């Protein structure tokens, strides 16, 4: 019981200082957000990350989890770059897992140098007629 409680408490403390699209408060706009919905029946969490490997190479990844197995759980990773003060989506990569409680996806990419990049993840779960979704953001990194 205690082992299951520790990750939940860590997520709660993290959410006190970051925002996801589920309604938490924002303190740092480029912070990594962990998606933990307040009112969802199926989605239990989700996250996305971005890693700068140097030389214009990055890795992106993300996951979505549900409380129990659902008809389909998914995560869509949208790689975005900052230009003129606005974020633009460069490409999207979708990962789905049927009859599961977890999905993970990731990709290595080559990107143009001289821009900030981040990941916007769309987390989804479908169980019967109930469809739930939410978003999380990675930190922003500068590729030079």
The DSSP secondary structure of 22-87, one letter per residue, reads TS---S-TTS--EE--SS-SSEEEEEEEEEEEETTEEEEEEEEEEEEEEEEEEEEEEEEEEETTEE
Structural domain span for residue 9: 2-143
Looking at residue 98, which CATH number applies to its domain? Answer: 2.60.40
Number of structural domains (the chain) is: 1
Output phi, psi for 137, to 5 deg: -125, 145
Structure tokens at 104: 């993970």
Give just the sign of the alpha carbon dihedral 50, 138, 86, 37. Answer: positive
- What string of pLDDT tens digits covers the 144 residues of the chain? 444 444 444 443 343 333 344 333 323 344 455 555 457 899 999 999 999 999 999 999 999 999 999 999 999 999 999 999 999 999 999 999 999 999 999 999 999 999 999 999 999 999 999 999 999 999 999 999
Report the DSSP pairing between strands 115-127 and 141-143.
Answer: antiparallel
């Amino acid at each position: 019981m205690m082992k299951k409680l520790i990750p939940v408490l860590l997520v709660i403390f993290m959410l006190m200082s970051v925002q996801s699209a589920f309604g938490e408060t924002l303190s740092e706009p480029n912070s990594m957000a962990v998606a933990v919905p307040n009112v969802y029946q199926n989605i239990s969490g989700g996250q996305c990350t971005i890693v700068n490997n140097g030389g214009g190479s990055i890795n992106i990844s993300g996951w979505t989890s549900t409380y129990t197995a659902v008809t389909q759980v998914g995560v869509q990773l949208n790689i975005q770059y900052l230009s003129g003060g606005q974020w633009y989506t460069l490409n999207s990569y979708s990962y789905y897992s049927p009859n599961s409680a977890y999905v993970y996806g990731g990709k290595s990419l080559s990107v143009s140098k001289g821009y900030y990049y981040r990941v916007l993840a769309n987390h989804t779960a479908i169980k019967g007629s109930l469809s739930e979704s939410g978003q999380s953001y990675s930190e922003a990194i500068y590729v030079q």
